[in-house]
């Protein structure tokens, strides 16, 4: 890959409305000043912001310690507490202001003021302490989108415990791997969750994971979200409310060093097991804070709704931490966008007066299919800013979001970032001129560039590797238990310490970035990163499967769909038996990893297309998955007839 062709030619430009220009906090002058300050002294720029935006119990004197690059420490000698910054410091002025508005799947509503949130978090922090959890211990949170998930996260932060959220859609196997890698002491879960009118059990997966290992786990705290019965293991499992009984709603936050790990979050990489991305306290919170101000312009009258689950990084930075750090009101929603009908998102926006709405392109595309009638039934006039994240947004979906949801008055904030970057990296401010499909420019203090494979910086229009040249406060600190992998994955280039993102992109003549996609073997299904390796290993662990290759195929709604190419160690069955095996394998993957990783299609062959040296030729499989003719050079292929076997199955 020297230069990647870009096929998208989008020429429309959308200027901010007069209303936006007049109302937002960051004006063009302010923005120009920030760019100038960051260009002059990057570390000074971030340090000034860290002093201005965060409350430190011990001020820092060191901005950046890069003596052990590519390990970077920010604000090293400072001390602070994230929960204090998100809650306590607002109590003087905002104790009665709403921190969280919650709407459940069934339309049930809960509201928490900052004072109430404070009391809940303190009680739960005391509860965790009473269960023997102290600073540095790892706690797994396996919960649905309910306020208790945020309370649990904040309580961990308050006592200096390191949380690791496992997405509620992940299976017992995936949960077990993460618990064991993190060496966690305690799990916080619920008996189940409510989604789309159904109750979905969760605790069962915890029981299954713990029955297979996870010896480090001493206690499980169970919040009863549904009326369903739940098995409670004597001596290990405790009811949330029983554990909380008698606990004080006062708790003195534990001040920690700026570099103290705030959380681990597991994410997919191209090879092997998921990576435990380790984030810091001070640096992480700074970028979480400022990007909520910069991109979403959050102020006292806003109701901010980020639809992401707390199981993903977006649910950390734009649900659990960032909006609270800036003192905003944020909305949490338990359900799904299509229940009771595909107008639910718009109903929630209307009913709670949502002003800033942040979701994923996959959700927009799914809802766009239902047309404009549903959103038009609701009053969406309070909306002033719309955001997207997770994958490139195609211009068609962008236009629909802009016109139908935003009434052509709300800027579309297309935010490019990753689990590892902690917060937005390339994204417009509300006043930026927009081009549908581009995440626009790198933020002040973020030094992004495009390189060819020899490390030369590329000019306008040429696609290549997206890299970040200088460290920034909220960057990943290491991969838990695997520091070598941290260095190999993110800093693979000779002679420099550029952070290599794993995406390809190009920059146009105006300096706007256009993300082209991943360069590693990672799929992006509905905005979620899935490693092809993980799905392949899951398939191969089935007794009938000898080999498997996974590729992505473009999909209208999901962005990418999972296509599996499988070699069995028995003869390929025919007819109904074949269909039954496909079903079994799909469910197998759902059980091993989770339903989001389920292959959309499975094809069988007697071998995979390999080079003579035994490398699977994935680009050929991609062509077949797309249903296209193979026109590539197949001369290095060991057995070309394999391709026909796979091709003839659809
Ligand atoms: C992709 C999600 C284009 C990208 C916050 C990145 C995007 C990966 C965008 C990270 C966007 C995310 N435009 N692509 N606005 N946002 N991506 O770690 O490939 O789940 O590397 O973090 O999603 O996914 P992750």
**What pLDDT digit, counting tens, does each position of 295-336 carry?**
999 999 999 999 999 999 999 999 999 999 999 999 999 999
At 2 the pLDDT is 38
Q: Is the CB of 203 under 6 A from ligand 1?
A: no
| CB burial string 427-454: b at 16+ within 10 A, e below | bbbbbbebbbbbbbbbbbbbbbbbbbee
Q: Is the CB of 394 under 6 A from ligand 1?
A: no
Give CA–CA dist 303/308, Å, rounded: 15
Residue nearest to atom 13 of ligand 1 (CA): 392
Q: Is the CB of 518 under 6 A from ligand 1?
A: yes
At 650 the pLDDT is 62
**What pLDDT digit, counting tens, does each position of 2-42 carry?**
345 544 567 899 999 999 999 999 999 999 999 999 999 99
**What pLDDT digit, counting tens, does each position of 108-137 carry?**
999 999 999 999 999 999 999 999 999 999
Cα distances from 282 to residues 23, 48, 83, 293, 423, in angstroms, run 30, 13, 12, 17, 13
**What pLDDT digit, counting tens, does each position of 531-590 carry?**
888 888 889 889 999 889 999 999 999 989 999 999 998 999 999 999 999 999 999 999
Q: In angstroms, what is the span from residue 646 Cα to ligand 1's centroid?
A: 31
At 613 the pLDDT is 66
**What pLDDT digit, counting tens, does each position of 232-252 carry?**
999 999 999 999 999 999 999
Average pLDDT over all residues of the chain: 94
At 51 the pLDDT is 98
Average pLDDT over residues 224-234: 96
- Determine which of 396-405, 441-450, 498-507, 513-522 has the lowest per-residue pLDDT on average: 513-522
Helix (H) or strand (E) holding 513: strand 513-518
The secondary structure of residue 339, as a DSSP letter, is: S
At 225 the pLDDT is 97
Average pLDDT over residues 292-297: 98
Residue nearest to atom 5 of ligand 1 (CA): 418
Q: Is the CB of 503 under 6 A from ligand 1?
A: yes
Q: In angstroms, what is the span from residue 546 Cα to ligand 1's centroid?
A: 32
Residue nearest to atom 6 of ligand 1 (CA): 418
Cα 574 from chain centroid? 40
Q: Is the CB of 392 under 6 A from ligand 1?
A: yes
Q: Is the CB of 597 under 6 A from ligand 1?
A: no
Q: Which of 359, 284, 353, 357 minimizes the C-alpha distance to 325?
A: 284
pLDDT confidence tier of residue 518, bands split at 50, 70 and 90:
confident
The secondary structure of residue 236, as a DSSP letter, is: T
Q: Which of 163, 167, 214 minimizes the C-alpha distance to 193?
A: 167
Q: In angstroms, what is the span from residue 22 Cα to ligand 1's centroid?
A: 31
pLDDT confidence tier of residue 390, bands split at 50, 70 and 90:
very high
At 1 the pLDDT is 35
Residue nearest to atom 16 of ligand 1 (CA): 390
Average pLDDT over residues 430-444: 97
pLDDT confidence tier of residue 451, bands split at 50, 70 and 90:
very high
* % of the chain beyond a pLDDT of 70: 98
Counting ligand 1 atoms within 8 A of each CB, the residue from 390, 512, 528 with the most, and so the one to mutate, is 390
Q: Is the CB of 389 under 6 A from ligand 1?
A: yes
Q: What pTM was estimated for this model as a whole?
A: 0.92
At 392 the pLDDT is 87
Q: In angstroms, what is the span from residue 631 Cα to ligand 1's centroid?
A: 31
Q: Residue 618 above 90 pLDDT?
A: no
Counting ligand 1 atoms within 8 A of each CB, the residue from 265, 500, 515 with the most, and so the one to mutate, is 515
At 517 the pLDDT is 82
């Amino acid at each position: 890959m020297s230069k990647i062709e870009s096929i998208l030619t989008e020429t429309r430009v959308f200027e901010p409305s007069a209303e936006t220009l007049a109302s937002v906090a960051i004006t063009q002058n302010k923005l120009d000043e920030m760019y100038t300050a960051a260009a002059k002294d990057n570390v000074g720029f971030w340090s000034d912001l860290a002093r201005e935006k965060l409350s430190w119990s011990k001020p820092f004197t060191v901005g950046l310690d890069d003596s052990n690059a590519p390990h970077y420490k920010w604000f090293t000698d400072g001390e602070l507490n994230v929960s204090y910054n998100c809650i306590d410091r607002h109590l003087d002025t905002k104790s009665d202001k709403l921190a969280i508005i919650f709407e459940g799947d069934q339309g049930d509503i809960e509201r928490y003021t900052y004072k109430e949130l404070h009391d809940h978090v303190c009680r739960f922090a005391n509860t965790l302490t009473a269960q023997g959890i102290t600073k540095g211990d790892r706690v797994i949170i396996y919960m649905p989108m309910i306020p208790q998930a945020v309370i649990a996260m904040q309580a961990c932060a308050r006592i200096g415990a390191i949380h690791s959220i496992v997405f509620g859609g992940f299976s017992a196997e995936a949960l077990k791997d993460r618990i064991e890698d993190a060496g966690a002491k305690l799990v916080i879960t619920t008996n189940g969750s409510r989604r789309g009118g159904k109750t979905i059990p969760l605790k069962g997966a915890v029981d299954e994971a713990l029955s297979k290992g996870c010896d480090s786990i001493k206690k499980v705290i169970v919040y009863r979200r549904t009326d369903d019965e739940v098995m409670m293991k004597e001596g290990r499992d405790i009811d949330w409310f029983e554990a909380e009984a008698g606990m004080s709603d006062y708790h003195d936050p534990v001040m920690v060093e700026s570099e103290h790990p705030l959380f681990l979050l597991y994410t997919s990489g191209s090879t092997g097991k998921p990576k435990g991305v380790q984030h810091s306290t001070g640096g992480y919170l700074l970028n979480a804070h400022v990007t909520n101000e910069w991109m979403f312009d959050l102020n006292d009258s806003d109701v901010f709704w980020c639809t992401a689950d707390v199981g993903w990084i977006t649910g950390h930075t734009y649900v659990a931490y960032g909006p609270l750090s800036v003192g905003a009101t944020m909305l949490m929603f338990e359900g799904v966008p299509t229940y009771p009908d595909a107008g639910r998102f718009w109903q929630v926006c209307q009913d709670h007066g949502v002003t800033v709405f942040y979701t994923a392109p996959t959700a927009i595309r799914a809802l766009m299919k239902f047309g404009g009638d549903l959103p038009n039934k609701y009053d969406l006039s309070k909306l002033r800013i719309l955001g997207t994240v997770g994958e490139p947004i195609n211009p068609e979906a962008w236009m629909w979001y802009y016109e139908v949801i935003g009434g052509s008055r709300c800027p579309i904030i297309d935010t490019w970032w990753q689990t590892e970057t902690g917060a937005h990296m390339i994204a417009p401010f509300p006043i930026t001129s927009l081009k549908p499909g581009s995440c626009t420019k790198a933020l002040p203090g973020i030094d992004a560039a495009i390189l060819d494979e020899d490390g030369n910086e590329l000019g306008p229009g040429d696609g290549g590797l997206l890299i970040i040249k200088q460290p920034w406060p909220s960057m990943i600190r290491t991969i838990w238990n695997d520091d070598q992998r941290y260095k190999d994955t993110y800093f693979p280039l000779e002679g420099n310490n550029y952070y290599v993102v794993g995406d390809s992109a190009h920059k146009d003549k105006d300096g706007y970035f256009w993300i082209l996609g991943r360069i590693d073997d990672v799929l992006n299904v509905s905005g979620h990163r899935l490693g092809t390796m993980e799905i392949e290993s899951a398939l191969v662990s089935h007794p009938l499967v000898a080999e498997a290759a996974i590729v992505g195929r473009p999909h209208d709604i999901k962005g990418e769909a999972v296509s599996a190419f499988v070699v069995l160690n028995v003869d390929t069955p025919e007819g109904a038996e074949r269909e039954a095996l496909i079903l079994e394998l799909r469910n197998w993957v759902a059980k091993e990893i989770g339903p989001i990783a389920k292959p959309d299609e499975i094809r069988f062959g007697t071998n995979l297309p390999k080079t003579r040296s035994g490398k699977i030729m994935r680009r050929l499989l991609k062509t077949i998955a797309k249903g296209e003719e193979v026109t590539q050079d197949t001369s290095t292929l060991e057995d070309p007839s394999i391709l026909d076997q796979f091709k003839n199955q659809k």
